Amino acid sequence: MKKTIYSVFLASALVFSSCEKDYLETAPTNAVTAGDVLSSTKNAMAALNGIHRLLYSQFNSSQNQGGEGSMKIMMDALGEDWVQTLGTSWWASEHNWTSHRNATSTSSYNHAWYYFYYRIIANANVLINGLDAATGPAAEKQMVIGEALIYRAWCHFQLVQAFGERYDAGKTNDQLGVPLMLTATTEGQPRATVEKVYEQINKDLDDGITMLTGLEARPAKSHFNAAVAKGIKARVALAMQNWSVAATAAQEAIQQSGATLMSRTQYTSGFNSIDNPEWIWGSMMQADQTNYFYSFFAYMSANYSSTAIRQNPKKINSVLYDQVPATDIRKELWDPTGASIPAPPNGVKVKYGQKKFLVANTSLSIGDVPHMRLAELYLILAEAEARQGMSAAAATHLATLLSARNPSYVESTSTGQDLVDEILIQRRVELWGEGFRFLDLKRTNSPLDRTGANHIPQWAWALTGGNFTVAAGAKEWQFLFPQAEINVNKAIVQNPL
């Protein structure tokens, strides 16, 4: 009897203590499973917002990979208008043109550029291809897919400009571009030709514009709408030297954007607020979404207390600065004496130091980052018209912009290349620090020339010590493909080393 009792007791102890079937099923609370993302348009919208957020999120645990803001700094660091005080820290090797030519490093900027844009594409592809079964309003689905298409176009555009040889309208562009990623796959894809990449970019833009047209107003300026999409289309057309499309797209974008040019007061208020009437597209950062020392403003503002700003405030090329008329409000974005720079405590104040970018609150490194301003669209429009020989229209459109900056501005009477050159100078001044310079040099097939300005020689060399120029069309204008990609994607052909 006793035996039986014990045995029953024992058996039940062993049986009852083993757990229910789902005991070993656990799921994270700070993540969503991939399946849930596509179940509803509401979730899909959150996934779309996740992409918007990637534009100001840290990548690769690196202090100089803070999303699109960092990409902008990279584009200016490669140019000649962005001048450093010190060249020993962040952005030094980028400025020296070695970072984007270092295939092996996983912290160099070719790697950063490549992974950043493809990561956005991967997120966009999930939404473009996977929302068939999602529940929710059709308009919401259309907005998500439309914006995702614009993202895919814009990212491929950013990638092909960096890794491919420039698009040359005068020839067949069968040079290799970048892999076209149109579905979510881990299978490595070969490089498509530059022509093919641009074809897909335009297709995605057109499809996206169609989907976004007629929708209700976007929730915020971080989202795309048809006007922004057309602005991007204008950029793409400019890079393709397709002047008529560039002009048309820019014109439509200007009209549909609802934006107005900044007042002179607004112009010197720090380029940190998405509420600025001139901003068409930008990233908006809340205090609780701060990106600390990898923020755009942790490097590019004049008044945030980071080591980079205290030690290495950014300056403008003195040659360019000297071309800005005294009555132009833009003259006030830089100080040739340095005295008026609102430097942080213990920070140096340097000649030609910038005060275009300011943090609104010096306790936070954040600021909204502009991705597209009305001024750029006027510059695209004017350049596209000037290059088509429509000098009068071009001069008028340029004047619309410049009169807002400089009350004494007199409309240009130049024509032809002179007018184009004038517009390009204005582009450099107007868009200083906003991430255009390298791409402008490359699309216009211009050389890099850092001579004759206030660059400090030991920090400003390109490619090799003591060298301050890079010839137009040199192989170094192409980023090298990251070795990490080549290792696993055997279809990739490396650019000339």
Partner 1 sequence: MKKALLLSFVLMLALITQAWAQNKTVTGRVTDLTTGEAMPGVTVRLQGTTTAAPTDASGNYSISVPASEGKLVFSFIGYINKEVAIGNQSTLNVALASDTQNLNEVVVVAYGTADPATFTGSVAQIGAEKLSQRPVTNVTSAIAGQAAGVQVSGGSGQPGAGPDIRIRGFSSVNYANDPLYVVDGVPYTAGLSNLNTEDIASISILKDAASTALYGSRATNGVVMITTKRGKKNQVQVNVRALQGVSSRAVPEYDRVNAQEYYPLMWEAYRNSLVNATTTREQASQRATNDIKGLLGYNPFNVPDNQIVRTDGTLNPEAQLLWGDDLDWEKALTRDGSRSDYTVSFNGGTEKSDYYVSLGYLKEKGYLIKSDFERFSGRMNVNTNLTNWFKAGVNVNYTLTNSNQASTGSATGFVNPFFFSRGIGPIYPVYQHDPATGAYVLDANGERIYDLGGSSPTMTRPVYPGRHIVAETEFNNNLYRRNVLGGRTYGEITFLKDFKFTGNFAVDITNYEEQTYENTIVGDGAPAGRAGRTLYNLTSYTANQLLNYNKTLAGVHTVDFLLGHENYNRSFDNLDGSKSGEIIADNTELQNFGTTNSFNTYHQDHRIESYFGRANYTFNDKYTVSGSYRRDGSSRFYKDVRWGSFWSVGASWRLDKETFFTMPTWVDMVKLRSSYGQVGNENIGDYYAWQALYTLGRNNGPEAGFSQESLGNQGLIWEKNNSYDAGVEFALFRNRLSGSVEYFNRESEDLLFEVQLPLSSGVASRIENIGSMYNRGLEIRLAGDIIKTSAFTWNLDVNWTTYKNEITKLPYDELVSGTKKLKKGRSLQDFWLREYYGVDPDNGDALYRAITYNESNSKIIGSDTVTSNANNARYHYAGSAIPKFSGGVTNTFTYKGFTLSALLTYSVGGQFYDSQYATLMNHGTYGGAMHEDMLNRWQNPGDITNVPRLQVGNTANLAAASDRWLTDASYLNFRSVSLGYNLPAALSTRLKLRNVNIFATGENLALITKRKGMNVAQTFSGTTSAVYVPARVLSLGMNLSL
Q: Which is nearer to partner 1, 173 or 291 (CB)?
A: 291
How near is the Cβ of 492 to partner 1 at its closest, in Å?
Answer: 8
300 neighbors 434 (Cβ within 8 angstroms): no
Short-list 304, 310, 269, 279, CA closest to 290: 304
Q: Which is nearer to partner 1, 125 or 412 (CB)?
A: 125
Q: Which is nearer to partner 1, 9 or 389 (CB)?
A: 9
CA-based Rg of the chain, rounded to a whole angstrom? 25
Q: What is the dihedral of CA 189, 493, 120, 29, to 10 degrees?
A: 70
How near is the Cβ of 54 to partner 1 at its closest, in Å?
Answer: 6
How near is the Cβ of 115 to partner 1 at its closest, in Å?
Answer: 5
361 neighbors 425 (Cβ within 8 angstroms): no
The DSSP 8-state label assigned to residue 40 in this structure reads B
DSSP 103-140: SS-SSSHHHHHHHHHHHHHHHHHHHHHH-TT-BS-HHH
Whole-angstrom distance, CA of residue 117 vs CA of residue 132: 25
Amino acid in the structure at residue 69: G
Q: Which is nearer to partner 1, 185 or 451 (CB)?
A: 185
How near is the Cβ of 287 to partner 1 at its closest, in Å?
Answer: 4
Whole-angstrom distance, CA of residue 338 vs CA of residue 83: 14
Q: Which is nearer to partner 1, 145 or 238 (CB)?
A: 145
Whole-angstrom distance, CA of residue 422 vs CA of residue 419: 5
DSSP 136-200: S-HHHHHHHHHHHHHHHHHHHHHHHHHHSPPP-TTS---SEEEE---S---S--PEEEHHHHHHH
Q: Which is nearer to partner 1, 79 or 179 (CB)?
A: 179
Whole-angstrom distance, CA of residue 195 vs CA of residue 63: 35
How near is the Cβ of 415 to partner 1 at its closest, in Å?
Answer: 44
How near is the Cβ of 468 to partner 1 at its closest, in Å?
Answer: 16
Q: Which is nearer to partner 1, 86 or 393 (CB)?
A: 86
How near is the Cβ of 219 to partner 1 at its closest, in Å?
Answer: 6
Short-list 395, 375, 398, 396, CA closest to 257: 375
Structure tokens at 45: 């919208």
Q: Which is nearer to partner 1, 88 or 445 (CB)?
A: 88
How near is the Cβ of 36 to partner 1 at its closest, in Å?
Answer: 8
How near is the Cβ of 487 to partner 1 at its closest, in Å?
Answer: 6
How near is the Cβ of 125 to partner 1 at its closest, in Å?
Answer: 8
Q: Which is nearer to partner 1, 22 or 170 (CB)?
A: 22
357 neighbors 302 (Cβ within 8 angstroms): yes
Calculate the CA 222 to chain-centre distance: 13
Q: Which is nearer to partner 1, 13 or 217 (CB)?
A: 13
Q: CA dist 132 to 44, 129, 153, 225, 228, Å? A: 11, 8, 21, 22, 26
Whole-angstrom distance, CA of residue 3 vs CA of residue 320: 98
